[in-house]
Amino acid sequence: MTKIASILQLNYDVDLYKIDYNTIDPEGNPTLASGLVIVPKSPTKSFPIMSYQHGTTLIKTNVASQLKGDFSVLPFLASDGYVMSCPDYLGFGDGTKLHPYLHAKSEASATIDMLRATRLLCKSKGVLLNNQLFLIGYSQGGHATMATLKTIEEQYSTEFTVTACAPMAGPYDLSGVQLNFVMRDSAYATPGYLPYVLFAYNPIYKMYPSLKTVFLPGYYDEFSPYFGDNPTHELSVVNSLWPASMIPLAVLQPLIVYSILQVPNDPLVQALKDNDLYNWAPVSPMLLCHCDSDEQVTFQNSVVAYNSFRKNNSTNVTLFMPLHGGTHETCVVPSFIRAISWFDSLKKQ
């Protein structure tokens, strides 16, 4: 990620602030979340806010407020002239309980409340803001970025105006192309995504009376220690628990697999549909970045989203493939370089 610094103008020293702020949980109850704010230092210059939504993690402390995860690139972005607003999301940092992974509503509410807290912090510190707002994120961060833009445009358009938005390599069609991609009868690079979604969604959607009925004997007991209120291992450890085939459905009960693949009102499919993010009409300028050989989040997620947006008469959306043959990992840097270069071209000087 630090390669991204090569395209930036490092004009400002920066101050870092870890903050706790009030938000809501998936049921709408008050809860506490944390995040990191990084501000460029200038007594006279006014700056835009860039909201950075991080990608998939499982360890509670592997986030920006703990100076971990994707933290390394964030001070460089602030030095380029952005106030960086970096939500940990629910459950991470100072949050409690398991993170509600890929839950669009709480991704958006945690991000939007972080933006409000960032504005208040800047006011208290005498940091001047202009009226520009940029949204960016990769992988789960792409999903969270899309969820945030959708929520802002549909519910808070009088409070926020998004200058530009760059969702990158996100699973926007969870119930369609992404589900089919994961549930193929073939190896999958990161099968641990599957139990993460199941453990995160079941308390919200009440899909199954017990997840013990979902997994083949032994697997629930193997997975459950990694998805408690305070996870201390990353998904790579969960992936290592899989059979050698690395086929996600190999750990599920046959009736569960049949229902997911064949029954339209399957509870998991319905929960995933609730978190799809393509059937709407964004107004803000959007750059969708995704590579065509992504082995974790299929490129078709961005194709589906782009085609849907165009069908819904969105005229400000571009689909860009920054690296032909790029994988989920090798696509990160070229995607960010393209997105940040675009942001810089729009940023008030």
DSSP assignments along 51-97, one per residue: EEE-----STT-SGGGT-TTGGGHHHHHHTT-EEEEE--TTSTT--S
Asked if 229 and 285 sit in the same domain, the reply is: no
CB 82 within 8 A of CB 349: no
Same domain, 183 and 97: no
Q: Which residue has the tokens 């947006």?
A: 309
Are residues 164 and 32 part of one domain? Answer: yes
Q: What's the gap between Cα 13 and its chain centre?
A: 28
Helix (H, G, I), strand (E, B) or coil at 28: coil
- Please give the structure tokens belonging to residue 246: 């690395």
The residues facing 136 across adjacent strands are 52, 166
Query: What CATH number has the domain bearing residue 308?
Result: 3.40.50.1820
Partners of 3 in beta bridges: none
349 has a pLDDT exceeding 90: no
- What pLDDT digit, counting tens, does each position of 113-158 carry? 999 999 999 999 999 999 999 999 999 999 999 999 999 999 999 9
Residues 91 and 202 in one domain: no
pLDDT of residue 5: 62
Evaluate if residue 1 carries a pLDDT over 60: no
Flag the least confident range among 64-73, 288-297, 318-327: 64-73
Q: What is the pLDDT of residue 8?
A: 72
Indicate the length of the chain as a whole number. 349
Count of domains forming the chain: 2
Same domain? For 262 and 118 the reply is no
Which residue range(s) make up the domain with 263?
A: 174-273
CA atoms of 289 and 131, how far apart (whole Å): 25
Confidence of residue 264 (pLDDT cuts 50, 70, 90): confident
What distance in Å separates the CA atoms of residue 228 and residue 5, rounded to the nearest whole number? 36
* Same domain? 7 vs 132: yes
> Are 222 and 244 members of one domain?
yes
Whether 257 and 288 map to the same domain: the answer is: no
Domain boundary among 226, 253, 273: 273
Q: Is 209 exposed, middle or buried, given 0-12, 13-18 or 19+ CB atoms closer than 10 A?
A: exposed
Which CATH number fits the domain that encloses residue 250? 1.10.260
The letter for the amino acid at 110 is: A
- The answer to whether residues 29 and 148 belong to one domain is yes
Locate 200 and state its tokens. 């995160």
Q: Do 101 and 245 sit in the same domain of this protein?
A: no
Domain end marker among 273, 298, 319:
273
Shared domain for 22 and 87, answered yes or no, is: yes
Q: Residue 166's beta-bridge partner residues?
A: 136
Domain boundary among 249, 273, 297: 273
The closest of 341, 129, 325, 96 to 231, measured between CA atoms, is 96
pTM of the prediction? 0.97
In this structure, the answer to whether residues 133 and 254 fall within a common structural domain is no
Is the pLDDT assigned to residue 3 strictly greater than 90?
no
pLDDT band at residue 112 under the 50/70/90 scheme: very high
pLDDT for the residue numbered 81: 95
